[in-house]
Structure 1
């Protein structure tokens, strides 16, 4: 199987901590040397050492490339609170970790080293995070506040138990907005005309630049289109192993932010900036595979501007979601049905992960724009929270453009594990429009319709909580509860519009 999902294989030398085991893992010394060769070949002068916060933000430090070997061995250090964006709660206390906490150690994942195509003097590398070497408790242990490291470990455990690999793709909708004189959003670049080629053409210079940069960084870009909100595009890339797909979505967001700077636009990943038109989702198309091989896609690049891991894809093998021979071509195989059962059983808690902001629920309340509201599944039925979008995969729809993809993939693996282990039956698929089915008497559970309700559902669900191990659940809940409370405590234009002149 791929090095992405297999647990780290330590050398025969006895080591004391997770951190040292990772540094001394089999083949890493050679990878570090290969990165040095890339640095010299490409003329890299500076490197971003980055990891992902609890909200999906890219966080880290930079250092001159001269110090690569030292960083590969010692890592970068920064405060634990960076994992929760060094955010303050409404009482002005730091969320998650106070200033008295130690500093984490972020060790670069060498296979993710890649040159930035917009400034070829600079490269980036993702990191795995560990507790500080000098901590009194669990020094050098894997940091459970590291969502990327958690996903790698959760996936490895799932593979060890079931012999299966999660491969998924996502549909990263986002909006390109004009920037006003004050630097604030001034509407979409284009009109909200879905699939309209002329509106797509208006953004051609933008999306071609995004595609150029994406291919240089290893994203196999496939189809794209103009969606039905102002300036809203969906540019998809090929599905792959869960960790690499999450890395590529995060890279894609970084690329869009840079292209927006180049065109003096705003790359908006906020789910619902405009009422009355569709929000930006990030549907996940999922499947579980047995076996397969790793292939490298070079995209006709004369020199790969990064390590091979950026350009590697899992392909082939057995897709266990495919219909069984002789059965209905629409019905997934037994493992697929079990996984659907697992997702349906945990949709309430999963919504807290996939729809993780106050604004996410504007998407669910603004009826008529195909956002999922009910806990059901069907074939090609976009009124359900989950649909079988094609033989061999299903589309999870209760997820939007603000999602932390590492938390989402980990949560899906836990739901799948429950479905497979307990042989969960998802029930009959719903082929009617769910709203018509309800009019005809069908009893359907509704998804949580606010961030507060979704967090309550997550608090009751030990299976999905296990996708946020150790400190991660505490940090996620603390951050998001504060977000919800601050929203409830805020007076907005809506309040003034409705109550300023209500009496006498």
Structure 2
């Protein structure tokens, strides 16, 4: 939102750009000073200024810590196309933004400043992105291809409208793969035995290093297990405010990549690298809260290696998803039911966000491995797209390990808003296995079963498209349609196996 600066009671009001309003926002000068104190206390020599691209990739620049104050005010500049990975389409043209486009300005969010535990000379800070100061149109405005900034604004609008905060946690499954002599994947580091402690133990040095680094960067690690694919682990951290959860998932991926380098393994977040075993999902457990408090968790660290925002968690208040009817102890309250109704109504379009790659749909087609295929909900019913996983929360299941968590949370908030505003009724929960229910005559919509179909469902859904404001929908659609078309135009081993000797 644009800020306003009043010079004096009798002066003319000066309208600030979004960039200027953010740099001059209340309390930010003090936060910038606190970062300087941390730099000096921890001996930080270098800082990564990072933001997240459309696909969830971490991008940005680095600079010596001497220049912190200048960077905090002026930011870093790099081409708009960095928000779409500077990717080329199938005709070798840049996707989204051409070379003639201006450079964005990324301004650091001081509260996210944190030392990297694997090299304590280095820190990272997330940034918000803005249009260039010299643009002819909307100079210094929020950059709408900044997925992190979009989520913050969408969540702020939702809280203002409904007085409710989205708190969610995620289940980030991923696979630890061995490297072959050529450096490419050479199978999982363990066998595909679900919940097997011996297989978990085999990766103990790896997951303990991940947990060590995660706690140092503010992730409250809670539980983990070996899943049922080769080298597949799920290490969970505590749920929290939507933006902080998205930041922590992104940080977790960065940590896993580093630990992979240290152990000569590949930290694989590709959803389905192997057929015949489970894929890697990233189920989102969702709840809406009214009021509550903020608490800093220190994890017994002698000194916090970053600003308190990294270690801050929301807790307490009223969980509006909790059951309120005494004779239905599992039935969510009215707001929860409306939100389920909103998600069910928009599940097709949401699938384009949660299952955003060609590979995502291998997970849905490889039947028998618990991936959701139908648009329904139930209690502890893993055959449905949504399940009430415990009183006070429900699990959104049509999302995999390659999700951009900022886009996903923003889209879920838009579905929730539609459900609450329109008082959408999700219908009765399904207790049966959904396949049995369908055999018995139940009519259930199927999720999109390809990236191309999901993009069509998104194109027809104005509610979910509103979670991709400004340039973001154009960029997402352009990037993903190109990905889909390039896949369709690719000759694979499957083609050769099936057609090379088909005639005469």
Q: CA deviation at 1:16?
A: 2.1
**How far, CA to CA, are the matches of 2:443 and 2:183 in structure 1?**
48
TM-score by length of 1: 0.98
- Residue 354 (structure 2) aligns with: 354
- Residue 72 (structure 2) aligns with: 72
**How far, CA to CA, are the matches of 1:175 and 1:15 in structure 2?**
50
Listed as ranges, the matches of 1:324-363 within 5 Å are 324-363=324-363
Listed as ranges, the matches of 1:24-39 within 5 Å are 24-39=24-39
- Residue 489 (structure 2) aligns with: 489
- Residue 4 (structure 1) aligns with: none
- Residue 152 (structure 2) aligns with: 152
Listed as ranges, the matches of 1:243-254 within 5 Å are 243-254=243-254
**How far, CA to CA, are the matches of 1:15 and 1:312 in structure 2?**
33
After superposition, what is the alpha-carbon deviation per residue over 1:114-135, rounded to whole angstroms, capped at 9, x for unaligned? 0000000000000000000000
- Residue 172 (structure 2) aligns with: 172
After superposition, what is the alpha-carbon deviation per residue over 1:19-72, rounded to whole angstroms, capped at 9, x for unaligned? 000000000000000000000000000000000000000010000000000000
Conserved? CA contact 1:10–1:26, under 8 Å: no
Conserved? CA contact 1:8–1:25, under 8 Å: no
Give the 3-state SS of the residue equivalent to 1:167 in structure 2.
strand
Query: Does structure 1 residue 414 correspond to structure 2 residue 414?
Result: yes
**How far, CA to CA, are the matches of 2:329 and 2:173 in structure 1?**
30
- Residue 428 (structure 1) aligns with: 428
Listed as ranges, the matches of 1:89-168 within 5 Å are 89-168=89-168
- Residue 391 (structure 1) aligns with: 391
Conserved? CA contact 2:114–2:124, under 8 Å: yes
**How far, CA to CA, are the matches of 2:131 and 2:313 in structure 1?**
31
Q: CA deviation at 1:326?
A: 1.9
Conserved? CA contact 1:10–1:25, under 8 Å: no
Give the 3-state SS of the residue equivalent to 1:176 in structure 2.
strand
Give the 3-state SS of the residue equivalent to 1:474 in structure 2.
helix
Long gaps (5+) in structure 2: 8-13
14-23 vs 98-107, which moves further: 14-23
Q: CA deviation at 1:275?
A: 0.1
Conserved? CA contact 2:407–2:467, under 8 Å: yes
Q: What is the aligned-residue RMSD (CA, Å)?
A: 0.9
- Residue 442 (structure 1) aligns with: 442
**How far, CA to CA, are the matches of 1:126 and 1:174 in structure 2?**
23
Listed as ranges, the matches of 1:360-379 within 5 Å are 360-379=360-379
TM-score by length of 2: 0.98
1:315–1:10: structure 2 CA closer, same or farther, 3 Å change rule?
A: farther
Q: CA deviation at 1:441?
A: 1.1
Q: CA deviation at 1:15?
A: 4.1
Conserved? CA contact 2:84–2:96, under 8 Å: yes
User: How many residue pairs are counted as aligned between the two chains?
Assistant: 498
Conserved? CA contact 1:83–1:146, under 8 Å: yes
Give the 3-state SS of the residue equivalent to 2:233 in structure 1.
strand
Long gaps (5+) in structure 1: 1-6
Q: CA deviation at 1:329?
A: 1.0
- Residue 59 (structure 2) aligns with: 59
Query: Does structure 1 residue 215 correspond to structure 2 residue 215?
Result: yes
Give the 3-state SS of the residue equivalent to 1:473 in structure 2.
helix
Conserved? CA contact 2:2–2:17, under 8 Å: no
Conserved? CA contact 2:3–2:17, under 8 Å: no
**How far, CA to CA, are the matches of 1:258 and 1:8 in structure 2?**
39
**How far, CA to CA, are the matches of 2:150 and 2:59 in structure 1?**
16
After superposition, what is the alpha-carbon deviation per residue over 1:214-251, rounded to whole angstroms, capped at 9, x for unaligned? 00000000010000000000000000000000000000
Q: CA deviation at 1:9?
A: 7.4
Give the 3-state SS of the residue equivalent to 1:446 in structure 2.
coil
- Residue 3 (structure 1) aligns with: none
- Residue 405 (structure 1) aligns with: 405
Conserved? CA contact 2:176–2:188, under 8 Å: yes
Q: CA deviation at 1:8?
A: 9.0
**How far, CA to CA, are the matches of 2:131 and 2:150 in structure 1?**
13
4+ aligned runs moved over 3 Å, structure 1 = 7-15
**How far, CA to CA, are the matches of 1:29 and 1:180 in structure 2?**
50
